[in-house]
Structure formats: C-alpha cells, structure tokens
C-alpha cells in the first residue's frame, strides 16, 4: 500500500498570485471604494429613473394625441358626405331665387313654400352636425376661407375686400369645408381715373 503524504501547503491559506500576502485594505480605502461604488450605482439609478420618467411622459403624450386624433376623426368623419350634400343646398337656393315674386298662382306659392321649408330643414340638419355658412361679404379676402374667381376695380372698398359672393362657402366646426367663391376689389389703375 502506498502511504499518502501530506503536501506542505495543505492546511495553509493560499497566497495570492502576485507573490506575497497583501495587506488587508485599510478602513479609509475601503470606505472610499464603497462610496465610489455607491455613487456609481446612484448615477445608474438616476439615469434609469430619468429614462423611465421620459418614457412615461412620452406615453402620456401619446395617449393624449390618440384621444385628440380620435376626437378629430369623429368630428370630421362626415366631411365628404357634407361636401356631396352642399350642391343640393345650392340648387334649392337657386330654385327659390328663380321664383317670380308677383303674379304667382296658389300652386306655385305652395310649391315655393315647400321648397323653402325643405331648405330650412336641410340647413338645420347641417347645423346640427356643425356645418355653417361662411359670410364673406364686406370682409377682407382670406385664402383659407375664400376662393377669388375675379377682381373688380372699386374706389369704395379697400383692395382685396370681398364685394360679391358667387357661391356660398361652408365650414365644418372650425375648418373650411368649402371655400366661398368670391369677387374681390382692387384699386383702380391710375390711367383709368384720369379719363
């Protein structure tokens, strides 16, 4: 049988690979390294907290934007339908303008009254959904609400004043649905004043 011999290093603490035994860290050095580690962890925590707060704020803004976009979508969802209905209103108004004022028969007066009531009801329904007329006459020309289809010289009105409405404009809530087709004024040319 082979006897086992104890290795001389057994039972003794190992020496670190650097050679001799290191002195245990002093209390001040250990405190400094712990403070550095704590500061580093605090900075990392602050960065994570900042990222979290930014993500939270961004998500909150996203939710508000989605709510606002959805409300706008609901508010303006019928825009195309209203645009298609406006020519009907125009034609009813045109029919009423062509009725002679005097010398009409009782049947024509009744028909005219029926068209007037239909037009009023039609406009009431449009108003219920936020559609209203744009009244540009006498006001300054605004390309967001008016479409200029002509100009007329005028000394009575300042330049770019709406002097005639060719087709009514309409808005849906606060947005232009159909701009009013208008004729605007311009100052007379100098040569035409002298004649």
Please give the structure tokens belonging to residue 102. Answer: 């005097």
The pTM assigned to this predicted structure is: 0.62
Distance CA 106, CA 103 (A): 10
* Contact criterion met (CB below 8 Å) for 129 and 82: yes
Q: What is the pLDDT of residues 122-153, one digit of tens each?
A: 999 999 999 999 888 888 899 999 999 999 98
What does the pLDDT read at residue 11? Answer: 52
Distance CA 138, CA 158 (A): 10
More confident residue, 170 or 108: 170
- Predicted confidence (pLDDT) at residue 195 exceeds the cutoff of 50: no
Question: How many CB atoms are located within 10 Å of the residue 29 CB?
Answer: 10
* Contact criterion met (CB below 8 Å) for 158 and 185: yes
DSSP secondary structure, 39-101, as one string: HHHHHHHHHHHHHHHHHHHHHHHHHHHHHHHHHHHHHHTTHHHHHHHHHHHHHHHHHHHTS-S
- Average pLDDT taken over every residue of the chain: 84
What separation in angstroms does the CA of 164 have from each of 90, 141, 185?
16, 11, 9
> How far from chain centre, in Å, is Cα 14?
73
Mean pLDDT value across residues 54-80? 93
- Predicted confidence (pLDDT) at residue 100 exceeds the cutoff of 60: yes
* Contact criterion met (CB below 8 Å) for 162 and 182: yes
């Amino acid at each position: 049988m082979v006897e086992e011999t104890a290795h001389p290093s057994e039972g003794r603490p190992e020496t670190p690979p650097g050679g001799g035994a290191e002195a245990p860290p002093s209390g001040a050095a250990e405190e400094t390294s712990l403070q550095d580690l704590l500061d580093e962890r605090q900075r990392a925590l602050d960065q994570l907290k900042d990222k979290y707060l930014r993500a939270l704020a961004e998500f909150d803004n996203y939710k508000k934007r989605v709510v606002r976009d959805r409300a706008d979508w609901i508010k303006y969802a019928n825009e195309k339908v209203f645009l298609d209905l406006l020519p009907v209103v125009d034609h009813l108004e045109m029919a009423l303008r062509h009725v002679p004022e005097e010398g009409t028969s009782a049947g024509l007066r009744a028909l005219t009254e029926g068209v007037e009531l239909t037009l009023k009801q039609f406009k009431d329904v449009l108003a219920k959904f936020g559609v209203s007329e744009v009244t540009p006459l006498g006001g300054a020309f605004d390309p967001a609400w008016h479409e200029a289809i002509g100009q007329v010289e005028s000394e009575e009105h300042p330049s770019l004043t709406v002097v005639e409405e060719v087709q009514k404009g309409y808005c849906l809530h606060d947005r232009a649905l159909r701009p009013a087709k208008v004729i605007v004024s311009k100052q007379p040319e100098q040569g035409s004043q002298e004649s």
